[in-house]
Structure 1
């Protein structure tokens, strides 16, 4: 069928709106990237609009000379990798049994899980439990209490139930597979899209998390990057990093350049991770939207 004049007009308006939204979202990212490698004097004067001006990498030099940032970077990568691995494994182990028709009591367990989404013990009881377990000031205080998210269990359970036919599991059982073998050899290879979605969700959550570290960590050597950035951006530590400048005004200008550089350095791993998971991510989100 040919497009009517209304269809063409709708497509033009729709594309225009999408381009405007893309520009609104993309411009701040491009501006921050350009500001991080531009002369801070040009940025402070408002001469920078889009492209870098008088390129200077002094901000990145200061960033990578700061030991706290490098230590925080390493800690965040460690917490994100270990935490995401625990999250994905726990989510799969919870979602798979709940998706099986022959699992008795699955609805009761699901109701109990959903209950925790609306009511929790609160921050103080959680802190006391972590203290009793001896996890204060350790990595485990950041990854164990948040080992699984109920909402993600619901999404993955729905994927298993709606997108992997139960007849496939029955055929594997007839061939002699145990339930564990069905999970490892049948379910997981067919569930790469939703696993990619969960991996990205959990990884970004760990990468951006700082509140748990703020509560449970006291050793600066264990601080994640977000806590270091909090000190830099909120407590004006940038001016100290730029202390080699000759005047206070120059310190402030170079401090601004360092802030832009830190933003780029802090978000770069997530930007690099997404292209590798994009194909599975889009497929998983689309399937979840249709079947959820």
Structure 2
């Protein structure tokens, strides 16, 4: 018995060391970006070793980023796209998953195949643009919300989560006179909360990082998300450094790190609120009884 406990203690120690090393390797790139964004650009350019703290301390990169008043309108636009887009995504995905998870639905298999088909084949950029144009969504905020209302990958996860809910609950609700809307919003969705929270995070991160569709479909600057403005700032700093503009060249190295922090930290704030649901939501449906 003592030998068994000794072996278990050794395994836990080695496993803990390995996981700690992997965690540090995973965390270091993010710490590097933070340290570099606050570093003196001249010292940063001359550094060739590991960066374990800011080299000097300078806020010039952040000043260059936030001096543009469009940054604030971009943040507001992005918050709108994340909130409205994620709401549409969750509602559309839940309704589609509810229908496709009902075994008695005759077209279930056919529609599932049609959804999966879109994961591997699409019309391409030009047909997509022409479709958005014909729908009258060019230069409309809806062009960043409606075309991607349902992600097939997320839909498959949601279907698996819905299928894991006992069918007896639905049958009991129907005996009590509940309809499909009542069953979906008052029974299925509350019970599938972990899965929904995970899918919510996926959609929110996707909307927050999205910039290509805005660049293609939007024209007015007051509708652009934050990612477009950050991209412009980074591009101008790189061009300024190439042309020898001193004021830009001095902070050109640190601006790219500051833009990463500005565009990443806000969306990271969402994770702590859904962390308790994350593991369960990802694993749900992975093990069948």
Under a length normalisation based on structure 1, what TM-score does the superposition of the two structures give? 0.88
Are 2:37 and 2:255, in contact at CA under 8 Å, matched by a contact in 1?
yes
Compare 105-114 and 84-93 and name the one that shifted more: 105-114
Deviation at 1:53, TM superposition (A): 4.2
Q: What is the distance in 2 between the residues matched to 1:288 and 1:215?
A: 38
Deviation at 1:16, TM superposition (A): 2.9
Pick the aligned partner of 1:158 from 160, 167, 170.
160
Deviation at 1:37, TM superposition (A): 2.5
Q: What is the distance in 1 between the residues matched to 2:212 and 2:7?
A: 51
1:177-225 per-residue CA deviation (whole Å, 9 max, x = no partner) reads 1121111111111111011011100011111112212221222232222
Deviation at 1:175, TM superposition (A): 1.9
Partner of 1:100, secondary structure, is coil
> Does residue 285 in structure 1 map to residue 286 in structure 2?
no
Aligned to 2:87: 85
Under a length normalisation based on structure 2, what TM-score does the superposition of the two structures give? 0.89
In the TM superposition, 1:1-292 aligns within 5 A as 3=4, 7-46=8-47, 49-162=51-164, 164-236=165-237, 239=240, 248=245, 251-291=248-288
1:16-49 per-residue CA deviation (whole Å, 9 max, x = no partner) reads 3322221122112112212222333332332882
Are 2:234 and 2:255, in contact at CA under 8 Å, matched by a contact in 1?
no
Q: What is the distance in 1 between the residues matched to 2:286 and 2:41?
A: 45
Deviation at 1:288, TM superposition (A): 4.2
- Distance verdict in 2 for CA 1:135–1:176, change over 3 Å: same
Deviation at 1:261, TM superposition (A): 2.0
Partner of 1:94, secondary structure, is helix
Partner of 2:269, secondary structure, is helix
Deviation at 1:6, TM superposition (A): 5.6
Aligned to 1:243: none
